[in-house]
Amino acid sequence: MVHTFRTELTWELLQALSRVDRFAGEWASIERREGRSLKHLKSIATIQSVGASTRIEGSRLDDTAVDALLAQFDITKLEDRDQQEVAGYFEALDTISEAYADIRIGESELKHLHKLTLQYSIKDAWHRGGYKQRSNAVEATLPDGSRSVVFTTTPPGVETEDAMRALVTWYGQSDAVHPLVRVAAFCYEFVTIHPFQDGNGRLSRLLATLLLLQQGYPWVQYVSFEHEIERRKSEYYRVLRTCQAQRPGEDIGPWLHFFLDCLVVMMEKLRAKLRVQGAVTGLNERQRNILRYVQSHAGAQAGGIAASLSVPLPTVKKDLDALVRSGALLRAGTGRGTRYAAP
């Protein structure tokens, strides 16, 4: 069975669409002005995206561990499933970043991206690159490590095949739909179908980035969509459950609100990061190193920074104070529990 959904473009949704589109219109001039800074921001966003998307699915690797793994990447030394999933997600994201303009949105291409994402995962070797053979369901990993069913999905076999064929056909013929609505609707329907045995959540987030890049929103490479989803993980699952519970013919308005709000928040975070990068020109090399370290290690503490960069602790504390005052860093906690992060 092929399902349909509906939505109403409210004033709130239209405002969000307008805000994101205005920023997209500004991006060409920002890109020319901030060219050198963007390379560093993209590197940070990549680590955050890989770490966040795999953690949503149960990985235990923090961004520091992800950074270390990718810095010394060796496919012969992937010791466990977490490392295998991180490596696969990184390569899929890198492929999208380098070749998004040439990737057609068709069933064979989606299967290839799925295979690429799970290429190092030994347990997934039997099903990667092919539609599911068994019933599956969207599950959330709870804080205690247990899993809870979020919603049921399209049955395997003919129903999944028909639903995916209908989805890619609709996407290819929906030029009249606003591109952001088109992307959000595609991602919602993909997750709801859950066409592959495993890896659907990860692939849906990769597809969001791919489709946004193709639709003319290149700035999404420089701030992590996956990190925002992870930050709002409970809301993410709640919205999906709310919409899917009405299936078929559901109103996906709540999902559109969530998706667009994520983009608006990401946009403002990127603006803040760019302001910080502008302030960096007045910093000395030691302060730049501290700033770069904290940007790559959210929640860093003064002692860890001092040890990692071989800078005396009193000097690090003084520089951190200056970076906080300038708005380049945020400070949380007091005393020995004080931690620092980029805006």
Q: Which of 114, 263, 103 is closest to 184 using CA atoms?
A: 263
Q: How confident is the model at residue 281 (pLDDT cuts 50, 70, 90)?
A: low
Q: How confident is the model at residue 40 (pLDDT cuts 50, 70, 90)?
A: confident
Indicate which CATH number applies to the domain containing 142: 1.10.3290.10
Confidence (pLDDT) at 82: 95
Residues 302 and 163 in one domain: no
Residues 102 and 62 in one domain: yes
Residues 63 and 39 in one domain: yes
Residues 118 and 162 in one domain: yes
Q: Measure the CA–CA gap between 136 and 156, rounded to whole angstroms.
A: 8
Q: Measure the CA–CA gap between 107 and 111, rounded to whole angstroms.
A: 6
Q: How confident is the model at residue 97 (pLDDT cuts 50, 70, 90)?
A: very high
Confidence (pLDDT) at 218: 96
CA distances from 179 to 121, 170, 184, 220 (A): 33, 13, 9, 14
Residues 102 and 193 in one domain: yes
Confidence (pLDDT) at 158: 96
Task: Give tens-digit pLDDT for 19-36.
Answer: 999 999 999 988 888 877
Residues 321 and 204 in one domain: no
Task: Give tens-digit pLDDT for 194-240.
Answer: 999 999 999 999 999 999 999 999 999 999 999 999 999 999 999 99
Write down which residue in 277, 300, 316 finishes a domain.
277
- Find out whether 135 and 155 touch, Cβ atoms under 8 Å: yes
Residues 264 and 320 in one domain: no
Write down which residue in 246, 261, 277 finishes a domain.
277
Confidence (pLDDT) at 3: 59
Confidence (pLDDT) at 161: 97
Residues 179 and 235 in one domain: yes
Task: Give tens-digit pLDDT for 168-199.
Answer: 999 999 889 999 999 999 999 999 999 999 99
Confidence (pLDDT) at 110: 98
Mean pLDDT in residue range 104-123: 97
- Find out whether 225 and 205 touch, Cβ atoms under 8 Å: yes
Confidence (pLDDT) at 288: 84
User: What is the residue range of 131's domain?
Assistant: 5-277
SS3 197: coil
Q: Looking at the predicted structure, is the pLDDT value of residue 155 above 80?
A: yes
Mean pLDDT in residue range 87-96: 97
Confidence (pLDDT) at 30: 87
Q: Looking at the predicted structure, is the pLDDT value of residue 248 above 90?
A: no
Q: Looking at the predicted structure, is the pLDDT value of residue 280 above 80?
A: no
Confidence (pLDDT) at 279: 61
Residues 167 and 299 in one domain: no
Q: Measure the CA–CA gap between 286 and 280, rounded to whole angstroms.
A: 11
Total domains in the fold of the chain = 2
Residues 121 and 192 in one domain: yes
Confidence (pLDDT) at 144: 78
Write down which residue in 277, 295, 323 finishes a domain.
277
Bigger pLDDT: 2 vs 65: 65
Residues 324 and 216 in one domain: no
Say what the pTM is: 0.83
Q: Looking at the predicted structure, is the pLDDT value of residue 151 above 80?
A: no
Q: Which of 2, 4, 3, 6 is closest to 254 using CA atoms?
A: 6
Residues 216 and 333 in one domain: no
Indicate which CATH number applies to the domain containing 315: 1.10.10.10
- Percent helix, percent strand, percent coil in the chain, to nearest 5: 65, 5, 25
Confidence (pLDDT) at 95: 97
